[in-house]
Amino acid sequence: MSGSYIVAGARTPIGKMSGALSDFSAADLGGFAIAEALRRAGVQPDEVEHVIVGQVLMAGQGQVPARQAAVKAGIP
């Protein structure tokens, strides 16, 4: 890798406990945000080499939530 670039950003929506977003996992929500950031930047998923995700609570989310979210966003 010759350089790192931040080309766009997006965040997950904020919902209430047991609200409309409660059926989505953290990886699902992260995937939505990643897909939107790619759309805003005009970047294709296969052009992405690495994904870094910040998450407050990881307990119960499975292993490597950033990778799970990247896959859900279509990044190979």
Tens digits of residue pLDDT in 29-65: 999 999 999 999 999 999 998 888 877 766 666 678 8
Confidence at residue 50, expressed as pLDDT on a 0 to 100 scale: 87
Confidence at residue 52, expressed as pLDDT on a 0 to 100 scale: 84
DSSP code at position 13: P
Higher pLDDT, 10 or 3: 10
CB 45 within 8 A of CB 71: no
Assessment of whether the complete model's pTM goes beyond 0.75: yes
DSSP H helix total and E strand total for the chain: 2, 0
Cβ neighbors of 10 (< 8 A, separation 6 or more) are 33, 34, 36, 37, 40
CATH fourth-level superfamily of 1-76:
Thiolase/Chalcone synthase (3.40.47.10)
- Give the residue extent of every domain in the chain: 1-76
Mean pLDDT, the chain, as a whole number?
87
